[in-house]
């Protein structure tokens, strides 16, 4: 896997101060994508064990609220094993911190269906707190939306959704 960027103090892609990994590779072609260069699966730097360790270490300060996977597309089949590996390590070392994942895919029609047939996705989902799903739609773009770019995108409470067996959206007022 390649990655386009790492932010060790990101305040835009989830609540609080976060560490964010922008993976490379995306098959979506969203008009107006803010990170179009990461569509290329070979864009940026090679993701290595050393990079992974630096991300884990960057999570240590108490002011870091959590970790965010973005892209590109973290859920492209080529990226899933790396995302799962890091998410497992983060959840084990920092169980009190949140893990968010942004995906252009849709929770019910794509992600949950993959979980039925792909053990990587099946094991990843319970490690995540929030998935921001849906492609970016430039015609629905709004700067007033919290943690997303267009109004079709949703903030899904993954843990509660898995417990209830239905899609549960996050209460945006409770996100800190």
Kindly state the average pLDDT of the residues 42-70. 98
Mean pLDDT of the chain: 94
Residue 50: give its domain's CATH number. 3.20.20.70
Taking residue 143's Cβ as centre, other Cβ atoms within 10 Å add up to 5
Q: What is the C-alpha to C-alpha distance for residues 130 and 169, in angstroms, rounded to an integer? A: 9
Other C-beta atoms within 10 Å of 156: how many?
25
For residue 17 the two structure tokens come to 């101060």
pLDDT tens per residue across span 13-40: 999 999 999 999 999 988 888 788 889 9
Chain centroid to Cα 78, Å, comes to: 15
The answer to whether 147 and 132 have CB atoms below 8 angstroms apart is yes
Gap between the Cα atoms of 103 and 26, Å rounded: 10
pLDDT band at 66 (very low <50, low <70, confident <90, very high): very high
pLDDT digits (tens, 9 = 90+) for 87-110: 999 999 999 999 999 999 999 999
Longest dimension (CA), the chain: 40
Q: What is the DSSP letter of 141?
A: B
Residue 72 has pLDDT above 80, yes or no: yes
What was the pLDDT predicted at 39? 92
Q: Residue 10: give the domain boundaries.
A: 2-174
For residues 161 and 174, the model is more confident at 161
Q: Which residue has the higher pLDDT, 164 or 31?
A: 164
Does residue 176 have a pLDDT over 70? no
Number of domains within the chain: 1
Q: What is the pTM of this model?
A: 0.95
First to last CA, the chain: 31
Sole residue written with tokens 């945006």: 172
């Amino acid at each position: 896997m390649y990655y386009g960027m790492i932010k060790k103090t990101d305040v835009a892609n989830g609540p609080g101060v976060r560490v964010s990994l922008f993976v490379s590779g995306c098959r979506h072609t969203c008009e107006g994508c803010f990170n179009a260069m990461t569509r290329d699966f070979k864009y940026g730097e090679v993701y290595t064990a050393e990079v992974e360790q630096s991300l884990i270490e960057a999570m240590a300060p108490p002011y870091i609220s959590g970790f965010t996977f973005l892209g590109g597309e973290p859920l492209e089949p080529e990226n899933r094993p790396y995302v799962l590996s890091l998410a497992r390590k983060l959840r084990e070392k920092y169980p009190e911190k949140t893990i968010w994942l942004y995906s252009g895919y849709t929770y019910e029609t794509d992600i949950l269906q993959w979980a039925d047939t792909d053990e990587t996705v099946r094991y990843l989902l319970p490690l995540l707190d929030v998935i921001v799903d849906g492609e970016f739609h430039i015609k629905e773009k709004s700067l007033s939306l919290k943690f997303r770019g267009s109004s079709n995108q949703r903030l899904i409470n993954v843990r509660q959704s898995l417990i209830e067996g239905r899609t549960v959206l996050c209460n945006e007022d409770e996100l800190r």
